[in-house]
Structure 1
Amino acid sequence: MSYLLEANGIVKDYTGHKALDDVTVHVPEGSVYGLLGPNGAGKTTLIRIINHITAPDAGEVIFDGRPLTADDVKHIGYLPEERGLYKKMKVGEQAIFFARLKGLDKRDAEKRLKEWFERMEIGNWWNKKVEELSKGMAQKVQFIITVLHRPKLLIFDEPFSGFDPINANILKREILRLRDEGSTVIFSTHNMSSVEELCDHITLINRSRNILTGNVEELRRSFGGNRFRLRFEGELSSLAEAIKPVVSYIGEDEEENRGQGESVIVELSDAATRRDLVDIANRATDLVGFEPVMPSINNIFINAVRNSSEMPVENK
């Protein structure tokens, strides 16, 4: 696997606070990579190091096969969570200004910008002043400015903040299109549904440490455990009573019921087998479906943070 970005053993100390403690992140080329974690976990500090805004106290960042330098920043597009535009300038004029700062000539910048404005459904805002934009419209403009110069690496910090569902879907569509055209994307977010939809890989940082890394689908399978969906025809009370000896949990199925009968979620006890569960359930009801339940990224996130928060932190 080819990595566009490798952050190896990153440590960052501030007075009285360790922001990052031996964090390692490898971002595959041409992927969407989710950087997750609670507030204060260290995500923004890592992003600032990748952007060469601050330097690590230990460790190294490799970009495109060699140590990261200040000159590499021109190949990175960064949309920070705290954004800002000049309110009195016209939208198109300001977008061209930022494009010129990133090395595009005026004619090429205007051509690319107008294509992007139409794609993002804000073409009629070109001659409006920024102060007339809603928060969502302003974020669309800033997104366009970030990606316009076609950088190798795109970093978005909470990109869906302030978007309604329709505009969030437009942004998701464009992020996936950029990936498919060869861009590598890192985004930091608390929106777990977006992680499910977009991310190929994730890293979860908690209390300044990397506590979970991997391919999204592989993580979901590995955290699946012994939880299953039973679809049946009959009385729930009869099923629940019958399977009690072989399950440690039985609960409501939150997904929309697909197919015939009722459905419940159960967790197999350590001493029982799938065959035990199916045989008993089939005797108690008419079993019409049995399938493993993959945990959501949100559930994995919550459990991983909870488990890591219960572990003692070494004094260094």
Structure 2
Amino acid sequence: MQTILTVEGLGKTFKHNRIIQDISFEVRKGEIMAILGPNGAGKSTTIRNIMGIMYPDEGFVKFHHHPLGEIPRHTIGYLPEERGLYKNVKVMEMILYLAELKDYPLRKARRRALEYLEKFKLEGKEKASIEELSKGMGQKVQFIGAVIHEPDLLILDEPFSGLDPVSQEVFKQEITELADQGTAILLSSHQMNMVEEVCDRLFMIHQGTKVIDGTLEEVKNKYANFKCTVKGRNDAALLEQVPSVQRVETNGDTSILYLAQDVHIPSWLKRLPDEMNVSELTIDRISLHEIFIDVATGRHAGNGTFEGGRERG
């Protein structure tokens, strides 16, 4: 798969404060890659270095078919976390202005804009000013502006923020379709459920350094241990004595047993105590949201990180 973006050894320091260190990853054609991390982890700094808004102290950013250091802005789409449309400009004028900045044919841009406005349920809003739109509508317009010129690389910073569930679903479908058409997508979001549904690979930063890098399947296999949810009134002390249980969370009549890695579920089920009160029992893997919390809080600090599917200590 063709590599569209290469980030190698990126480092940035502000006033003796190391913001990011040795950040390296690739984004490939037709791939959706998530860059994740808690607030202050270094995600925005990494994106700003990619976009040339600031420049790294170490390392480099390389775009496919372009000289080192050159940022082909006409082939990049960018939806920033802080939205920034001119409020007194009409919707169609705003979109065409953004297309013109990318040297994209205006006749083609107008046709694509009308198609997107219809897709996003904004028909008839071409002549409305941005300030007349709701926050969600404005975000849809800015998304259209980010993709109107058919970019090779699309960078989305918190694209789902402020959207209602229906609009989130529309965005998710559009992002997936763009990837299917060959667009390389780098996506940053705190909404782990959406990330889990659309992304192929994950790159997580914590305190400025990489802690996870791998496909969704690799990350799940590495970090997503099984959990057992039991409905029935049970003493936590009893559940904590069950073999391979690392911790227990109890809420009323529901208990969640977090299991050790590589536990063999059929064998484990046979070792449950007879005195357990069970009206319902389910077993599944922990979610990406739970993995995010575990890594951010240091629960998996000793498990190593991924690089190309290989574990590193």
Does TM-score exceed 0.5, indicating one fold?
yes
Superposition deviation, residue 3 in structure 1 = 2.4
In 2, are the aligned partners of 1:32 and 1:200 still within 8 Å (CA)? yes
Looking at structure 2, the residues matched to 33 and 283 of structure 1 have their Cα atoms a distance apart, in angstroms, of 46
Superposition deviation, residue 104 in structure 1 = 2.2
Confirm whether residue 279 of structure 1 aligns to residue 270 of structure 2.
Answer: yes
Looking at structure 2, the residues matched to 202 and 10 of structure 1 have their Cα atoms a distance apart, in angstroms, of 17
Looking at structure 2, the residues matched to 81 and 203 of structure 1 have their Cα atoms a distance apart, in angstroms, of 18
Looking at structure 2, the residues matched to 265 and 308 of structure 1 have their Cα atoms a distance apart, in angstroms, of 17
Higher-helix-fraction structure: 1
Looking at structure 2, the residues matched to 271 and 113 of structure 1 have their Cα atoms a distance apart, in angstroms, of 50
What are the within-5 Å matches in structure 2 for residues 294-309 of structure 1?
Answer: 294-307=285-298
TM-score under structure 2 normalisation? 0.83
In 1, are the aligned partners of 2:61 and 2:69 still within 8 Å (CA)? no
What SS class does the counterpart of residue 307 from structure 1 fall into? coil
Q: Which has the larger radius of gyration?
A: 1
The letter of the residue matching 1:92 is M
The letter of the residue matching 2:298 is N
Percent identity for Structure 1 against Structure 2: 34
Give the structure 2 partner of residue 150 of structure 1. Answer: 150
Give the structure 2 partner of residue 314 of structure 1. Answer: none
Looking at structure 2, the residues matched to 272 and 145 of structure 1 have their Cα atoms a distance apart, in angstroms, of 49
In 2, are the aligned partners of 1:4 and 1:63 still within 8 Å (CA)? yes
Superposition deviation, residue 141 in structure 1 = 0.6
Superposition deviation, residue 197 in structure 1 = 1.3
What SS class does the counterpart of residue 241 from structure 2 fall into? helix
Query: How many corresponding residue pairs?
Result: 301
| Change in CA separation of 1:60 and 1:242 when aligned onto 2, cut-off 3 Å | closer
Give the structure 2 partner of residue 246 of structure 1. Answer: 243
What are the within-5 Å matches in structure 2 for residues 36-51 of structure 1?
Answer: 36-51=36-51
In 1, are the aligned partners of 2:35 and 2:202 still within 8 Å (CA)? yes
Superposition deviation, residue 310 in structure 1 = 7.6
Structure 1, 5-14 or 240-249: larger mean CA deviation: 240-249
What SS class does the counterpart of residue 290 from structure 2 fall into? helix
Superposition deviation, residue 238 in structure 1 = 9.7
| Change in CA separation of 1:34 and 1:285 when aligned onto 2, cut-off 3 Å | same
Looking at structure 2, the residues matched to 204 and 39 of structure 1 have their Cα atoms a distance apart, in angstroms, of 12
What SS class does the counterpart of residue 272 from structure 2 fall into? helix
Looking at structure 2, the residues matched to 12 and 283 of structure 1 have their Cα atoms a distance apart, in angstroms, of 57
CA distances 1:25-67 after superposition (whole Å, capped 9, x unpaired): 2223211111111222111111111112222111122222655
In 2, are the aligned partners of 1:38 and 1:206 still within 8 Å (CA)? yes
Looking at structure 2, the residues matched to 157 and 108 of structure 1 have their Cα atoms a distance apart, in angstroms, of 26
What SS class does the counterpart of residue 5 from structure 1 fall into? strand
What SS class does the counterpart of residue 124 from structure 1 fall into? coil
Give the structure 2 partner of residue 91 of structure 1. Answer: 91
Looking at structure 1, the residues matched to 135 and 35 of structure 2 have their Cα atoms a distance apart, in angstroms, of 24
Superposition deviation, residue 263 in structure 1 = 8.4
| Change in CA separation of 1:195 and 1:107 when aligned onto 2, cut-off 3 Å | same
Looking at structure 1, the residues matched to 262 and 167 of structure 2 have their Cα atoms a distance apart, in angstroms, of 49
In 2, are the aligned partners of 1:31 and 1:183 still within 8 Å (CA)? yes
What are the within-5 Å matches in structure 2 for residues 232-271 of structure 1?
Answer: 237=234, 241=238, 244-248=241-245, 249-251=247-249, 265-268=256-259
Give the structure 1 partner of residue 55 of structure 2. Answer: 55
